[in-house]
A = this chain, B = another copy of it.
């Protein structure tokens, strides 16, 4: 952090000396160096990439994390922190230099305290998201962060990437769900800001600087997260409609009528549901004929299921009358509701079954989504004639998974060769629409170069200044973000 600490750091005499010191700090059993033990940690979620590391270290407490980071700082050993290793942008695996340690937070898995009156929970970074959801439910509370990897991702990873998911419309991103953090700085100091306060204006917002920094400024070891009252009922509906612009108008109507009870608003094109029906035959849209677009709506009601269903019927009646939608079903049982959500949840898998595809996790201002899709679809067709758009996502947040599958009959390898060209087309268009090329996945190593094209020089310079100030030796997750 200061010139003094920089001067005191010196490269390690030998990696073995360093590893011996690590074994002394956290016990030898948690210093993994055999390939068989480490490969799972060093390979990314999709199996695309395997990095190298001096060792995988598994400290068991914040103090042990701090001890390891101090050793790394002293020996100038880079650190790659990792939670559940479910990230999609190569943010939690090391590069192939082999000079870094991988620091797994999974042993820091205690729920330290639950305070149902304050509506907060203090959790360690390695807690699995689903376990946190369940611990909240046991106290009749809701922790609303929800995403596909919830059975294996950790809250430390969710915080470090500011994860999104399906509840953002009502509850915000992970950033908005956190009141305080405990962080081990790049120097190995412990910053403990675990105050469960809704209001605290006593200086710079250090919390939000570490949230979303993907471990490049320090290591989040624990957090105070926000809980909410459990809704009495959740009701789901599926609306069929003509265009994304109609979906936008439906969104405005539903927000006006439902306020904060509208907790989900997901767009899916007909082609998405065609793929689902093809690869997972029992799952199909519950309408007589296909429609161009579908919207999945969810209400979370604090009164009753009957009340939620009444509201939905009124909204859908009004939407039919205004010709915003052409048809709709409201789930009248939990089973029906699940089956509607499964349409949405099977899209990614169906797309994978169809073959290789090129994914984009983008956001634009909500009001511009219709125009963005129209304009960008044309540009992508010019770039890669015949390719098929798999467009779906969190319309209520302006966040689309704007994915591209190859034209029928085109080989995967021929298609993937076009990846860079297609990415450029999509990202340039996103930029023109004032959007983001990474809405909820982060930058990691994958989009680190890409962002240089789209972020302003002033923003990049501020990011570099902060990185340099907090981590002058560039030891924290090097090669990621900046």
Interface residues, chain A, CB within 8 Å of chain B? 1-2, 115-120, 140, 161-162, 164, 168, 170, 172-173, 175-176, 185, 189-193, 195-206, 208-209, 211-213, 217, 229-231, 248, 251-252, 255-261, 300-303, 311, 363-368, 394, 397-399, 434-443, 447, 451, 454-456, 458-459, 461-463, 465-470, 481-482
Known interface pairs A198-B363, A443-B203; A458-B115 also in contact (CB < 8 Å): no
17 additional contacts (CB under 8 A) given A197-B365, A203-B463 = A1-B462, A1-B465, A118-B365, A118-B367, A161-B201, A162-B205, A197-B364, A202-B451, A202-B455, A204-B482, A205-B212, A205-B213, A231-B259, A256-B302, A259-B300, A260-B260, A466-B469
Judging by beta carbons under 8 Å apart, are B203 and A397 in contact? Answer: no
Distance between Cα atoms of A475 and B204 in the complex (Å): 17
Distance between Cα atoms of A195 and B467 in the complex (Å): 23
With most chain B CB atoms within 10 A of its CB, the pick from A2, A172, A196 is A196
Judging by beta carbons under 8 Å apart, are A199 and B397 in contact? Answer: yes
Q: Which residue of B lies closest to A394 (CB)?
A: B199
Q: Which residue of B lies closest to A364 (CB)?
A: B197
Shortest distance from the beta carbon of A20 to any chain B beta carbon, whole Å: 28
Known interface pairs A1-B465, A191-B458, A209-B208; A397-B198 also in contact (CB < 8 Å): yes
**Which residues of the partner chain B approach A256 to less than 8 Å between Cβ atoms?**
140, 229-230, 302
User: 14 A-B residue contacts at CB 8 Å?
Assistant: A140-B256, A164-B199, A168-B198, A185-B462, A192-B456, A192-B458, A197-B363, A199-B397, A203-B481, A205-B205, A206-B459, A206-B462, A257-B303, A466-B469
- Nearest 5 A-B pairs (CB), nearest first? A259-B302, A260-B260, A469-B469, A117-B367, A208-B208
Known interface pairs A208-B208, A465-B470; A399-B198 also in contact (CB < 8 Å): yes
**Which residues of the partner chain B approach A172 to less than 8 Å between Cβ atoms?**
176
* Cross-chain contact of A209 among B140, B204, B443, B447 (Cβ < 8 A): B204
Known interface pairs A261-B259, A302-B261; A202-B436 also in contact (CB < 8 Å): yes
With most chain B CB atoms within 10 A of its CB, the pick from A172, A213, A363, A468 is A363
Q: Which residue of B lies closest to A162 (CB)?
A: B201
* Cross-chain contact of A398 among B198, B204, B260, B367 (Cβ < 8 A): B198
